[in-house]
Chains A and B, each alone.
Chain A
Amino acid sequence: GNSVTQMEGPVTLSEEAFLTINCTYTATGYPSLFWYVQYPGEGLQLLLKATKADDKGSNKGFEATYRKETTSFHLEKGSVQVSDSAVYFCALRNYGGATNKLIFGTGTLLAVQP
């Protein structure tokens, strides 16, 4: 079946530190991969996406590369800010069947300290 595994949090970093949040997936077919972010008290916002192998999604300084050989989609940012504190969700959508549903990981809480 389809599933997403992401590293457990919380991840606590100092401002300007390098961030990596690991995400690996299991899927049949050819999934699209996503990172969503949930700021405190808000809904889920699409942060970035990649639709095929070797694609790199990027937004707001965050990047993730779709690695088919390692079934991974790790989220990175070179220099985090306090305003990046949020919960980050890795997700996939598999176009192998007639479904548009997203399958989410458990979420990783990022806390950035000044």
Chain B
Amino acid sequence: EPEVTQTPSHQVTQMGQEVILRCVPISNHLYFYWYRQILGQKVEFLVSFYNNEISEKSEIFDDQFSVERPDGSNFTLKIRSTKLEDSAMYFCASQTEGDYGYTFGSGTRLTVV
């Protein structure tokens, strides 16, 4: 069964450093998403991406965040200057046209120290 692949599974970074989280969505999917889950809290929407541009973003997704699909296969989330409160599990998801559900990756646990 096709999968969404996320790397790394766990990343530790120092506060103020830039971090890039990587995702390989399912190849024929058209819609791409990032969500995050702070430990013990709900899963929150960050951003959606379609047709090579952001289609929607949440209040969390401020100027410190950016997304890119640089080569038609990878979908990345960049955090420019990490803060302690960015520590969370980050999930990538993709979706095909007309599909009601997403396929999520297994997540990247980001720890900012």
Contacts and interface: CB of A to CB of B under 8 A. Distances in A.
B95 to A, nearest CB: 7
Contacts of A102: 35, 43, 45, 102
B18 interface: no
Interface stretch (A13-21, A43-51, A63-71): A43-51
Interface of A: 32, 34, 36, 41-46, 49, 51, 89, 91, 93, 98-107
A29 B93 CA distance: 24
14 contacts: A34-B101, A42-B106, A43-B91, A44-B43, A44-B91, A44-B93, A45-B104, A46-B102, A98-B55, A100-B33, A100-B95, A101-B45, A102-B43, A105-B42
Contacts of B55: 98, 100
Interface string B80-113: 0000000000010101000011111111000000
Assign chain B's interface to a size class. Answer: 20 to 34
Nearest to A51: B100
Contacts of A51: 100
Interface of B: 4, 6, 31, 33, 35, 41-45, 48, 55-56, 58, 91, 93, 95, 100-107
Contact of B33 (A34, A42, A101, A104): A101
A51 B33 CA distance: 21
Contacts of B45: 101-103
10 tightest Cβ-Cβ pairs between the two chains A and B: A43-B106, A44-B104, A104-B43, A46-B101, A101-B45, A43-B104, A106-B42, A104-B42, A43-B105, A43-B107
Contacts of A42: 106
B100 to A, nearest CB: 6
